Structure 1
Amino acid sequence: MPAVRDASGGTRRRRPAEVQELLLGAAEKVLIRRGMSANAQEIALEAGVHRSVLYRHFGTAEDLVRLAALRPFREFLGKIRLMTDASALGEPMPLWDLMLGFLGNLFDIVDEHHDFLAMAMSATSPFSAAEQGELRRELDRILDAIVDLARREGIPRGLDPDAIAANTRLTITMVMGAIAYGSWLLPERTGTPQRSQLIEEMANFILNGTRLVPDDGKRADHETPHRA
């Protein structure tokens, strides 16, 4: 198993989860450069490991590529679970804070993996029709899990239960569009210094729409909800 230096300057063997993350990151970089012509040897070389390590953890290069394509959404699901679990165990978060956390985590992850997602999900995606179909099915399962969390947290805070599924996917689409085309369409809202302002504006748009809502009308979204 590949080794890594620890804080004391010595070396230790990487844990399996660390090796898997290393290989997923390497697959993402190689696929951006090479498309589906990338092979297991190139991915292993990028990760700094022997090709046998790739096969030990993922079975085939195709399995690794598929998991790499889903990785950003799985990361987002994990972050949202941590946030909502913390709210469930401690003091419940106001809806406004949950929305800011949802959007902030999503912006961070989509931005980090933007080049790969743009390649994988474009009309000229290098994935075959069969591979795209499988990816869509798996992505649907992940998005459905995100929707379940949004429903669990949103309904007690007054969100429309019939609209949560569509609105959650629309929110994810909006963030991905803002990152992909923000430099053109939102030139004064792109870049790290402006991100918090953009996230607050998006949260306000999602929760209040285009209506002019007085501050008194927004107060409930900023209040800690009562437990059932």
Structure 2
Amino acid sequence: MTPTVRPLRADAARNRELLLAAAEEEFAERGLAASVADIARRAGVAKGTVFRHFASKEDLIASIVSEHIAELIDVARGLADSPDPGTALLEFLTVAADQRQQHDLTFLQSVSQGDARVTEARDELHAGVGTLVDRAREAGAIRADVTGTDVFLLMCAPVHVVENASDPAPGLWQRYLGIIFDGLRPEGASPLPQPAPTSP
């Protein structure tokens, strides 16, 4: 018999959210040197509260990454039945790039790469992106040889490009998203020189 999963009490849920936000800030400032004690102090809770919610610092990192991926999964699901698949795909890529701009999780994602929850969430997001891409391709909004994996790998590209600029203006990533999305359109497309990867 499967045990019943009870929802967190309001105060416990609030503490969990405080810890996730505090941990993300600490990791952004100190990298993996951030301690559980520092995270608890920033969140305004006792150190023991951290371990009531997260088994280890690695569990906390995986939870941060999983939460952000879950946000994008919800966005992809919400756009999956849009009457304008091309606009829906562009909207999703805009949200994904904006999230990446606000929350640089690159090194946290590397640390949590082997976590089963992160892997499952990443696979679910990949499938959600695939649905958006399939619909956009069927509608003729993007070129026929672009796959869900191609777009999944391009999600953070606009922000990565801007990181190479010496003094980027706020929102500069939107310029590069426009360039990337125009490259997905079928008009004037040339054959791609390599086959698409089968997985991200």
TM-score (norm 1): 0.62
Which of residues 206, 211, 214 in structure 1 aligns to 2:184?
A: 206
How far, CA to CA, are the matches of 2:14 and 2:184 in structure 1?
37
Deviation at 1:79, TM superposition (A): 2.0
Residue 105 (structure 1) aligned with residue 84 (structure 2)? no
Residue 146 (structure 1) aligned with residue 136 (structure 2)? no
Partner residue, 1:68: 64
The 3 A distance-change label for structure 1 pair 100 and 182 is same
By relative contact order (CA 8 Å, sep 6+), the higher-ranking structure is 1
How well do the aligned residues superpose, as a CA RMSD in angstroms? Answer: 3.4
How far, CA to CA, are the matches of 2:144 and 2:13 in structure 1?
37
How far, CA to CA, are the matches of 2:134 and 2:14 in structure 1?
31
How far, CA to CA, are the matches of 2:189 and 2:137 in structure 1?
22
The 3 A distance-change label for structure 1 pair 149 and 46 is farther
Larger Rg: 1
Which of residues 37, 60, 69 in structure 2 aligns to 1:41?
A: 37
Q: Secondary structure at the match of 1:69?
A: helix
Q: Does the aligned pair in 1 maintain the 2:133–2:151 contact within 8 Å?
A: no
How far, CA to CA, are the matches of 1:145 and 1:40 in structure 2?
34
Deviation at 1:111, TM superposition (A): 0.5
Partner residue, 1:120: 108
User: Is the helix fraction higher in 1 or 2?
Assistant: 1
TM-score (norm 2): 0.69
Q: Does the aligned pair in 2 maintain the 1:75–1:109 contact within 8 Å?
A: no
Q: Does the aligned pair in 1 maintain the 2:19–2:43 contact within 8 Å?
A: yes
Superimposed CA distance per residue, residues 40-71 of structure 1 (whole angstroms, 9 cap, x where no aligned partner): 22111111222232222223332111222333
AA paired with 1:164? T
Deviation at 1:209, TM superposition (A): 6.8
Q: Secondary structure at the match of 1:42?
A: helix
Q: Where in structure 1 are there 5+ consecutive unaligned residues?
A: 1-12, 213-228
The 3 A distance-change label for structure 1 pair 209 and 70 is farther
Q: Does the aligned pair in 1 maintain the 2:76–2:132 contact within 8 Å?
A: no
Which of residues 148, 161, 166 in structure 2 aligns to 1:165?
A: 148
Q: Secondary structure at the match of 1:49?
A: coil
Deviation at 1:143, TM superposition (A): 3.6
Q: Does the aligned pair in 1 maintain the 2:26–2:38 contact within 8 Å?
A: yes
The 3 A distance-change label for structure 1 pair 35 and 96 is same
Q: Secondary structure at the match of 2:131?
A: helix
Partner residue, 1:220: none
The 3 A distance-change label for structure 1 pair 50 and 149 is farther
Partner residue, 2:160: 180
Q: Does the aligned pair in 1 maintain the 2:143–2:186 contact within 8 Å?
A: no
* Count, aligned residues: 180
Deviation at 1:29, TM superposition (A): 1.6
AA paired with 2:93? L
